Structure 1
């Protein structure tokens, strides 16, 4: 189906230059109207802003990915200052969150310092009136929900979310958005989530260049994969394909104030 899509979460700056050019050159063919390129750290923020200035369809989000060593106080201050200065050019604060996978590798890792950094970004998002894109899965999602509720944050987006039924119900009640990756085509856990979550509060993403398995094994992750994800979501929701496309597009457009 020749219908417009929005990639709600991609690390465009992390692709090799040739791969990135391929994605950007194919936006017309793939009907990719916009892609929200989330940031990993300060250099990533700067590159995503440069990409936005070169290609209007690239929409930058500024943040610090939690699955890495914490920044020094000076580095964090520099990053927050950069976001303050350039927030009018951003569509969100992101990617920010908590280091679930890093803690699986290092159980001794202390969560408190990461929570403190995340709270600084949540406060910044509220002050700048920007939505926030979050990396928070399983039990970490409940900690993040506590922080969002504490600061009365409503425009929150949990990318590639995985968690308990109780947490899902809490997120639905708070009207937080989630985004679905191409693994919905083969992962039962994600398929169950799609069946459960309201279509009015879902978006689609690639999280590229992260690679996928199943029918996408060996392929470079690119936004065209979203079309196959939308088809699967249509089946799971037992909803007309055109309705699913239209709702997902509207959700992302509204959440990120794109058009």
Structure 2
């Protein structure tokens, strides 16, 4: 679900498809991974409205009020290599307990001048450790535990 400022028809279609995925997730007890750039509040409202049990808000960099709602609902955010430099993303990571963060690379998106690769998960890990002022191994252990819980592995 991505903000479609200029085109109401696009926004409506996105929301309809998004709701179909939420319904499937709810009916099959599956987690959802949500790209909601610019539509953070609406995405949260829909996820909560469908009573989805597990959700990860990808590369969250939205308002603190929505982050609070996400966390109060037991949902997660993902950290990406943008945690190295994005003020909004860094702030979200800082305000989120490590127990509610998972790591990702968002391959093959570009971060600054580099196309991401799977190994970039280490950049994400180091950025989160630096933001949280903890050792890399603590981030690795907790975020792995989080992912295992979310995906029931």
Is the shorter-chain TM-score for this pair beyond 0.5, marking a shared fold?
Answer: yes
Aligned-pair CA distance for 1:165: 1.0
Q: CA RMSD in A?
A: 1.5
Contact residue 105 and residue 124 of structure 2 kept, 8 A = no
Q: Indicate the SS of the match to 1:203.
A: strand
Aligned to 2:49: 150
Aligned to 1:174: 73
Partners of 2:85 and 2:43 in 1: CA distance? 28
Structure 1's consecutive aligned runs of 4 or more residues displaced over 4 angstroms after TM superposition are none
Per the normalisation by structure 2, the TM-score is 0.91
Q: Is 2:141 aligned against 1:246?
A: yes
Per the normalisation by structure 1, the TM-score is 0.56
Q: What is the total number of aligned residue pairs between the two structures?
A: 152
Aligned to 2:2: 99
Contact residue 2 and residue 37 of structure 2 kept, 8 A = no
CA deviation profile, 1:107-165 (whole Å, cap 9, x unmatched): 03332232122111111111111111111123x12112222222211201111122111
- Where in structure 2 are there 5+ consecutive unaligned residues? none
Match of 1:120 among 12, 20, 28: 20
Q: Indicate the SS of the match to 1:130.
A: coil
Aligned-pair CA distance for 1:99: 2.7
Partners of 1:143 and 1:168 in 2: CA distance? 12
CA deviation profile, 1:177-226 (whole Å, cap 9, x unmatched): 1111111112222111111011101111111111111xxx2x33112111
